[in-house]
């Protein structure tokens, strides 16, 4: 019985793929391949006869892999969604991290567990990076909105920037609203009045 597993990582982004490979390398000398998620995915995966396939849970190409669960020929090895056989905690951890694993039928859970744990940890990092980026963008957008609302107040009431900001904050507090939401309302209203 061979000890090295054949692992396919389906990932279009080269940097992300390299980071996943590095993370998995720490857990043994496995045969790791990276392929893009474009056309003919199911055929390419089937040809490589992997033990384990890892793919971003949000990759639209996942549905193509579903075909592999139907492998019918005597030489084809049916692949199952990991969700079928793993313990629920591990499965949930994988899904929450945003990685999906497809495992060849009959492969024992303890053999893939270290690899999957490593992949989950790596995908968690990706997810944090993604949500940090989104939070930064949102904060920037809110900043711009508040600046526009301040500008509107300054022009309409002839007050300073500091006074405009204080006015906005007080109104937000009185109404129990977020500053950005109040700013949005003001900007929308003033556009309607133009």
Partner 1 sequence: MTAAITLGFVPLLDAAPLIVAAELGFAEQEGLRLRLCRAASWSQLRDLLDLGAVEAAHMLSAMPVARALGLGGGQGGLEVLMVLSLNGQVVGLSGALGPVPFGDPAVAAGLAAPGRVLRFGVPFPFSMHALLLRYWLSRMAPDLAFTLHAVPPPRMTEALQAAEIDGFCVGEPWGTRAVQVAGARLILPGAAIWSQSPEKVLAARHGWAEADPARAAALMRAVWRAGRWAEDPANRTTLAELLAQPHTLDTPALHMEPALRGRVLPDARGPEVAVPQLLAFHAGLANFPWRSQAGWIGAELAAAHGLDPRAAARAARAVFRSDLYRRFLGPAGVPLPPASDKLEGALATAESLPAVRGSLMLMRNRFFDGAVFDPAPAE
Closest separation between CB of residue 158 and partner 1, Å? Answer: 37
Q: Does 184 bind partner 1 (CB under 8 A)?
A: no
Which listed range, 5-13, 34-42, 165-173, 179-187, lies at the site for partner 1 (CB under 8 A)? 34-42
Q: What share of the chain is helix, strand, coil (3-state, %, to 5)?
A: 60, 10, 25
State the binding string over 55-84 for partner 1 (x if CB under 8 A, else -). Answer: --xxxxxxxxxxx-xx---------xx-xx
Taking a C-beta distance cutoff of 8 angstroms, is the pair 30, 7 a contact? yes
Residue 63 or 141 with smaller CB distance to partner 1:
63
Residue 79 in 3-state DSSP? Answer: strand
Residue 80 or 159 with smaller CB distance to partner 1:
80
Residue 65 or 164 with smaller CB distance to partner 1:
65
Rounded Cα gap, residues 30 and 3, in angstroms: 8
Which listed range, 90-98, 121-129, 147-155, 171-179, lies at the site for partner 1 (CB under 8 A)? 90-98
Q: Which of 7, 8, 32, 42 binds partner 1 (CB under 8 A)?
A: 42
CB atoms within 10 A of CB 182: 20
Closest separation between CB of residue 56 and partner 1, Å? Answer: 9
Rounded Cα gap, residues 113 and 165, in angstroms: 54
Q: Does 100 bind partner 1 (CB under 8 A)?
A: yes
Rounded Cα gap, residues 83 and 43, in angstroms: 22
Q: How many CA atoms lie within 13 A of 108 on its CB side?
A: 4
Q: Provide the CA 113 distance to its chain's centre, in angstroms.
A: 21
Closest separation between CB of residue 47 and partner 1, Å? Answer: 15
Q: Does 141 bind partner 1 (CB under 8 A)?
A: no
Angle of helix 109-157 versus helix 88-97 axis, rounded to 10? 40
- How many chain residues interact with partner 1 (CB under 8 A)? 25
Taking a C-beta distance cutoff of 8 angstroms, is the pair 100, 118 a contact? no
Closest separation between CB of residue 1 and partner 1, Å? Answer: 26
Residues that bind partner 1 (CB under 8 A): 38-40, 42, 57-67, 69-70, 80-81, 83-84, 91-92, 95, 100
């Amino acid at each position: 019985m061979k000890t090295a597993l054949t692992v396919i990582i389906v990932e279009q982004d080269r940097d992300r793929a390299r980071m996943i490979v590095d993370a998995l390398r720490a857990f043994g000398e496995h045969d790791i391949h990276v392929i893009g998620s474009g056309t003919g995915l199911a055929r390419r995966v089937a040809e490589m006869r992997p033990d384990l396939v890892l793919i971003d849970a949000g990759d639209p190409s996942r549905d193509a892999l579903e075909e592999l669960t139907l492998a019918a020929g005597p030489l084809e090895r049916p692949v199952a969604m990991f969700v079928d056989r793993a313990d629920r905690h591990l499965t949930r951890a994988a899904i929450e991290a945003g990685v999906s694993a497809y495992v060849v039928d009959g492969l024992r859970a303890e053999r893939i567990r270290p690899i999957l744990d490593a992949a989950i940890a790596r995908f968690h990092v990706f997810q944090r990076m993604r949500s940090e980026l989104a939070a930064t963008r949102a904060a920037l957008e809110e900043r711009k909105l508040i600046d526009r609302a301040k500008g509107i107040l300054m022009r309409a009431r002839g007050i300073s920037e500091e006074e405009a900001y204080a006015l906005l904050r007080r109104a937000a507090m009185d109404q129990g609203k977020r500053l950005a939401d109040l700013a949005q309302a003001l900007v929308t209203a003033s556009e309607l009045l133009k």
